[in-house]
Structure 1
Amino acid sequence: MYSEFDREVGEMRVEQERQARIDAARAELTKTGRDACECGATISPARRRAYPSATRCLECQEIVEKEAYLK
């Protein structure tokens, strides 16, 4: 059987892992992407507002998503 101490330590570890996942998700949301797409085109201001971490222009992103969908 587990002692009260073991249970408390386990609960603390679960909470620490949960908080780490929350912190990582928040950091990902606030991460900024680039001003220029991989193809060299400028990423539109509207796309940057909607998806700040964008690394591709809308046209390139559509191509990548279509290719992934067709696989």
Structure 2
Amino acid sequence: MNMRGIPYPRTRSGTASLLPELPWHYSGDLLTVEYRTDPSAVAALLPDGVTLAHDDEDPGAVAFI
């Protein structure tokens, strides 16, 4: 059995697996809302020790999976 390039959990013999055989088919819904916001207002909501990444001036995003 050649398991190269197939990174799912199998034993060396291939007799035990946590996942079914390939191919796997997945389906689902995803909604991402991107918006602009005031960075200082967002920073005020963060817990102590957590800071904003300053890669962009005022982005925000919420993902519903």
Q: Computing the radius of gyration over CA atoms, which structure comes out larger, 1 or 2?
A: 2
Normalization by structure 2: what TM-score?
Answer: 0.23
Structure of greater relative contact order (alpha carbons < 8 Å, 6+ residues apart): 2
**Is the helix fraction higher in 1 or 2?**
1
**Is the strand fraction higher in 1 or 2?**
2
